[in-house]
Amino acid sequence: MRIHHRAACGPPFVFRRDASRRIPRAAAGLFVAVFGVLAPAQLSSAPEPKPPIIDVHLHAFPADLMGRVGMPNPVTGKPSEATTDDDLLRAALAAMSRYNIVKAITSGPLVSVRRWVAAAPDRLVGSAMFPHPPPLPDLGLLRDDLRSRQLGALGEVTAQYAGISPSDASLEPYMALAEEMDVPVGIHTGFGPPGAVYECCPKFRESLGDPLLLEELLVRHPKMRVYVMHAGYPYLGEMVALLHAYPQVYADVAVIDWLLPRSEFHEYLRRLVQAGFGKRLMFGSDQMVWPEAIGMAVEGIESARFLTPAQKRDIFYNNAARFLRMDQPPPLR
């Protein structure tokens, strides 16, 4: 017995009751034509594994750092969705997972730093932030924390906010400790928030952001692992001079990779790379109370069309891995 069915268009399909398990030739051809084309497309739409990133400039700040919660992001104008300390921690860790940030040097009030590191000990490296706000950390306790690896770095060294040079004698015991224990030190340079001297930090002076002010410190401590935060922006010539004169010095591009207008950041980054320092620039987000800044910072590097894929990998991972002496790279994820 035959059952005839005519499709809306095209020839009739013929089904035999005694061959009900057999796919008709026309239907088989249609199946192959459709799924043979769709399968590769479906496979190609799967997200590619994300290569690892190291963030050398992350903060463990309370959600009310700016005096109240929900402060607007200075770029987007949208209020921070992290309205509690726990919200901020969870959102920052989620952003790190999303972009495969496998390690981050994390500074802030030590009570907050300890809580963040305890939440993700394999991913976060605690770091002591000083001298602003005061007081200076106890040197003996700091030594104990470094020896026990509760902390793994010093910085952000906020000398500029305290109205002193990063080479100031009051910081000398801490710099000597960093050199002795061979831990990296991140030092704030460049600019601060608009109106900082009037609102939060009366001793702040823009002139103290000149990266060449690190020179006496570097002369005294030639073996210290120093990285210049914010890559000295806007002191381009001074930054190039420092990197040229002191080959042990690295720099991060934190905050300028998302806060500056994109074209301005790219021009500054382009000049540093053109000057020959692409192997000593490191990624940083400077996440404060806006977890979305992590992704904005990543995009700041990804969108730099003048960088080769190899140069981007250097900035995102390779340079920091070398500076931090990380041996084995983590797998793609």
H or E segment and range at residue 58:
strand 53-59
**Residues 61, 113: contact at Cβ < 8 Å?**
no
Q: Is 128 helix (H, G, I), strand (E, B) or coil?
A: strand
Q: What is the mean pLDDT of the chain?
A: 88
**Whether 8 and 82 share a structural domain:** no
pLDDT tens-digit map of 8-47:
333 332 323 343 444 444 444 433 333 344 444 444 566 6
pLDDT tens-digit map of 86-139:
999 999 999 999 999 999 999 999 999 999 999 999 999 999 999 999 999 999
DSSP label at 318? I
pLDDT tens-digit map of 257-282:
999 999 999 999 999 999 999 999 99
Share of the chain above pLDDT 90, in %: 82
Domain interval for residue 196:
53-323
Q: How many residues does the chain have?
A: 333
Which amino acid, one-letter code, is at 119?
A: A
**Whether 64 and 207 share a structural domain:** yes
Whether the predicted pLDDT of 140 surpasses 50: yes
Residue 330 lies in a domain: no
Which amino acid, one-letter code, is at 330?
A: P
**Whether 105 and 9 share a structural domain:** no
The span from the CA of 111 to the CA of 61, in Å, is: 10
Relative to beta strand 2-5, strand 13-16 is antiparallel
Beta bridge partners of residue 268, listed in sequence order: none
Residue 332 lies in a domain: no
Domain tally, the chain: 2
**Whether 63 and 27 share a structural domain:** no
- What is the average per-residue pLDDT within 317-326? 97
Could you give the C-alpha distances from 321 to 104, 257, 316, 324, in angstroms and in order?
A: 11, 20, 9, 5
pLDDT of residue 219: 98
Residue 333 lies in a domain: no
Select from 110, 250, 115, 277 the least CA-distant residue to 184: 250
